[in-house]
Amino acid sequence: MESWGPMLRALLSGPGRRGGTRGWAFRSGQPHLPLAGLSSATELVNHWTGVFEKRGIPEARESSEYIVAHVLGAKTFQSLRPALRTQPLSPQQLQCIQELSSCRLQRMPVQYILGEWDFKGLSLKMAPPVFIPRPETEELVEWVLEEVVQRPRVEGAQDGPLILEVGCGSGAIALSLLSQLPESRVIAVDKGEAAISLTHENAQRLRLQDRIWMVPLDVTLEGSWTHLLPWGPVDLVVSNPPYVFHQDMEQLAPEIRSYEDVAALDGGEEGMDVIAHILALAPQLLKDSGNIFLEVDPRQPELVSRWLQSRPDLDLQLVAVRRDFCGRPRFLHIRRSGP
């Protein structure tokens, strides 16, 4: 969650088209920046890259390329036809680029400016303050998919796995699992109203709404898990919980601190506040031998392992730790013991 670099770079490639610009991203009364003599997409990208660099905006070129491409209806600058890069833009397009770039000067993340972002090939609507899905979370989803595919199917079972996601945010994890596992169903929980409604909207956009139930719920509240009992025991719990150590919150980039919900990030003193609640409630909701997959901070595999040893009553075992694309231990697989 610390840097935008890998996120932008990871998604920089791959052609495709986006819809038009999102009205909500515009701000009236932005300072007018001189554009005289600039008219082509390439010139605009160079101009705004220079402005962003001067003002210390991270990923200056990527940001300006995304904005210009978006206004021209493309996903990436690289995917624009060469002719579109050099022909003059309309006054409306120039104005649009100026307004979106002004948002970037206010350190608004590109994902919120564009109003949509890709996660595992799904185009999701993004809106502040709902957490923007990070590329490493795609690796968590991959691991869950591997596990589900390898799992021996229970004879006579009609349905695919029933999955509980704690902290669904925009719906990135839940919806990518649903799209890859056609027989699965997901219960998606979040304490944020904005997150629940964005997951709902994204489920509708992707026509996955019939296999997902959204439940507004704070898992740290006493007995909250009882609201989930009507769905029956689940096969798997997955979560990318708030796990940032409280003292690290100050060091997060302005893009994160100013625009994303603190509740999506701050995990308390050792980042374990919500993680501990998920682990404590999981045995009440999981089937025997059910699995938990978590994304965590690199310091937390050790903390979680010690925490589980202190709670043998939960019958949970840390079975594997995986590293992210930067080589840091970031993903946990925990299993509930069988009968």
Ligand X SMILES: C[S@@+](CC[C@H](N)C(=O)[O-])C[C@H]1O[C@@H](n2cnc3c(N)ncnc32)[C@H](O)[C@@H]1O
Give min distance, CB of 177 to ligand X, in A.
11
User: DSSP character for 234?
Assistant: E
Candidates 66-74, 75-83, 212-220, 320-328; binding stretch for ligand X (CB under 6 A)? 212-220
**Given the DSSP bridges, would you call strands 212-216 and 122-125 parallel, antiparallel or unpaired?**
unpaired
Residue from 110, 219, 279, 282 that binds ligand X (CB under 6 A)?
219
Q: Please, is 321 exposed, middle or buried when counting C-beta atoms within 10 Å of its C-beta (0-12, 13-18, 19+)?
A: middle
Quick check: 161 binds ligand X (CB under 6 A)?
A: no
Specify the residue, 60 or 192, whose C-beta has the smaller distance to ligand X: 192
Specify the residue, 195 or 282, whose C-beta has the smaller distance to ligand X: 195
Q: Please, is 82 exposed, middle or buried when counting C-beta atoms within 10 Å of its C-beta (0-12, 13-18, 19+)?
A: exposed
Residues 6+ apart with CB under 8 A from 203: 171, 174, 175, 209, 212, 214
- 296 vs 272: CA distance, rounded Å: 9
Residue from 18, 22, 70, 191 that binds ligand X (CB under 6 A)?
191
Specify the residue, 41 or 127, whose C-beta has the smaller distance to ligand X: 127
Specify the residue, 281 or 316, whose C-beta has the smaller distance to ligand X: 281
Residues 6+ apart with CB under 8 A from 181: 145, 148, 160, 161
The SS3 assignment for 54 reads helix
- Cβ distance 251 to 297 under 8 Å? no
Token couple for 2: 């610390």
Quick check: 70 binds ligand X (CB under 6 A)?
A: no
Residues 6+ apart with CB under 8 A from 201: 125
User: DSSP character for 320?
Assistant: E
Give min distance, CB of 314 to ligand X, in A.
18
Quick check: 106 binds ligand X (CB under 6 A)?
A: no
Token couple for 245: 């150590």
Quick check: 241 binds ligand X (CB under 6 A)?
A: yes
Give min distance, CB of 333 to ligand X, in A.
17
Specify the residue, 115 or 242, whose C-beta has the smaller distance to ligand X: 242
| Helical pair 135-150 and 172-180, crossing angle rounded to 10 deg | 40
Quick check: 242 binds ligand X (CB under 6 A)?
A: yes
Specify the residue, 68 or 196, whose C-beta has the smaller distance to ligand X: 196
Quick check: 109 binds ligand X (CB under 6 A)?
A: no
Candidates 73-81, 106-114, 129-137, 156-164; binding stretch for ligand X (CB under 6 A)? 129-137
Partner residues linked to 162 by β-bridges: 185
User: Can you give the length of the chain in residues?
Assistant: 339
Contacts to ligand X from residues 260-299, by CB under 6 A: 261, 263-264, 274
Residue from 45, 113, 189, 236 that binds ligand X (CB under 6 A)?
189
Residues contributing to the site for ligand X (CB under 6 A): 131, 133, 137, 166-170, 172-173, 189-192, 195, 217-220, 240-242, 261, 263-264, 274
